[in-house]
Amino acid sequence: MPAEDNGFQPEITAFTCFYCAYMAGDTAGLLRVPYPPTVKIIKFPCTGKVDVEYILKAFEQGADGVLVVACPIGNCHHGSGNLRATKRLEYARKLLEAVGLEKERVAIAYMSGSQAHAFAQAVQEITDKVRQLGPSPLKKSC
């Protein structure tokens, strides 16, 4: 359900592992499945490497939302890095709430490399959600 277009283009930073998730992003390209251009990916060897600090840093630098994309649960190429990312994400959400930021600005999605549409959908969902929430109050003023 797309949010009403209020003219706000949320800046989304995506943290992905280099396996399933990054590949899903590439597959979206191969299949030309469009999604908002305001999403930019930073890749990691595993989402288990995504530190809470990175998520906070993204908001500090002006991101309106953060999306972590991981391998499907049970299919992590390093055992359970995606589960660790999930736990850390929960923690990051609590920290964000503590400083008055909506926890919905952070999301996690799990997908395999061929799921181009799942990738685009995850991106679209967080974009729509954050668009409703409006710009991040932490955004540095120009």
Partner 1 sequence: MESQVLPDQPATGQKAPVGAALVVGGGIAGIQAALDLAESGIRVYLVERGATLGGKMAQLDKTFPTNDCAICILSPKLVEAARHPNIEVLTKTELLAVEGQAGDFTVRVRQHPRYVSTELCTACDDCTKVCPIEVPNEFDEGLSKRKAIYRPYAQAIPSTFLVSKRGTSPCKEACPADTSAQGYIALIRERRYEEALEVIRQYNPFPATVGRVCNHPCESQCTRGRVDEPVSICALKRFVADTVYARWDREGRPEAKVPGELSPFPLAPQDLPPPERRRVAVVGAGPAGLSAAYFLARMGYEVTVFEALPVPGGMMRVGIPPYRLPREVLDREIAEILRAGVRLECNHPVRNINALFAQGFAAIFLAIGAHQPQRLGIPGEDVEGVFHGVPFLRAVNLGEQVHLGRRVLVVGGGNTAIDTARTARRLGSEEVTILYRRSRAEMPANPWEVQQALDEGIRLEILTQPIEVLSQGGRITAVRCIRMELGEPDASGRRRPIPIAGSEFEIPCDAMVAAVAQAPEIRILDPDHGLEVTPWGTFRVDPQTLATNRPGVFAGGDAAAGPGALIEAIAAGRRGALSIDRYLRGQPLLTPRELTPLPVAQLSEEEIQEKLHRGEAARHGRVQMPVLPPQERVGDFREVELGLTEEQALAEAERCLRCGLCSECYMCVLACKAHAIDHQQAPVERELRVGAVLLAPGYAPYDPKRAPELGWGRYANVLTSLQFERMLSASGPTRGHLARPSDGREPRRIAFIQCVGSRDQEHDYCSSVCCMYATKEAMLALEHAPGVECTIFQMDMRAFSKGFDAYYQRARAQGVRYVRNRVSALKEDPRTKDLILQHTDGDGTVHEEAFDLVVLSVGMEPPADAAALAAQMGIRLDEAGFCQKDPALPVATSRPGIFACGTFAGPKDIPETVVEAGGAAGAALAEIGPARGTLVEPRTYPPEREVAPADEPRIGVFVCSCGNNIAGVVDVAQVVAYAQTLPGVVHAENTTYTCSPDSLLKIQEAIREKRLNRLVVASCTPRTHEPLFRDTARQAGLNPFLFEMANIRDQDSWVHPHDPERATEKAKDLVRAAVARSRLLKPLHTRPQSLYHSALVVGGGVAGMTAALNLARQGFGVYLVERERELGGYARRLGRLVQGGDPRDLVRALEGAIRSEPRVEVLLGHEPVKFEGFVGNFRTWVQERGTSRQRLLEHGVAVIATGAREYRGPAYGLGQHPRVLTQADLDALLVGRSPEVPPEGLPAPAQWRSVAMLLCVGPWDEPEASEGFYCSRICCATAVKNAIALKEANPEAQVAILYNRDIRTYGRLEALYTRARRMGVAFIRYPEGERPRIALEGEKPRIQVTDTVLNLDLALEPDVLVLSEALLPAEGHRDLAELFKFSCTLEGFFLEAHVKLQPVDFPSEGLYLAGTCHYPKLVEEAQTQALAAAARAARILSKDHLEVGGAVAVVEQARCTGCLTCVRVCPFGAIRIHREAVGAGGILGAAEVQAAACRGCGICAGECPAKAIQLEHFRDEQIWAKIDALLSAPV
Residues that bind partner 1 (CB under 8 A): 11, 13, 18-20, 22-23, 25-35, 37-38, 40-46, 48-51, 53-54, 57-58, 61-63, 71-72, 74-75, 77-81, 84-85, 88, 112-118, 120, 142
- Distance from C-alpha of 131 to C-alpha of 135, rounded to nearest angstrom: 7
In whole angstroms, how close is the CB of 140 to partner 1 at the nearest point? 8
CB atoms inside a 10 Å sphere around CB 14 = 25
Provide the total of helices (H) and of strands (E) in the chain, helices listed first.
4, 4
What is the full DSSP assignment across 82-117? HHHHHHHHHHHHHHHHHTT--GGGEEEEE--TT-HH
Complex with partner 1: residue 3 or 52, whichever CB lies closer = 52
- Distance from C-alpha of 127 to C-alpha of 1, rounded to nearest angstrom: 11
In whole angstroms, how close is the CB of 79 to partner 1 at the nearest point? 4
In whole angstroms, how close is the CB of 21 to partner 1 at the nearest point? 10
Complex with partner 1: residue 60 or 97, whichever CB lies closer = 60
In whole angstroms, how close is the CB of 131 to partner 1 at the nearest point? 15
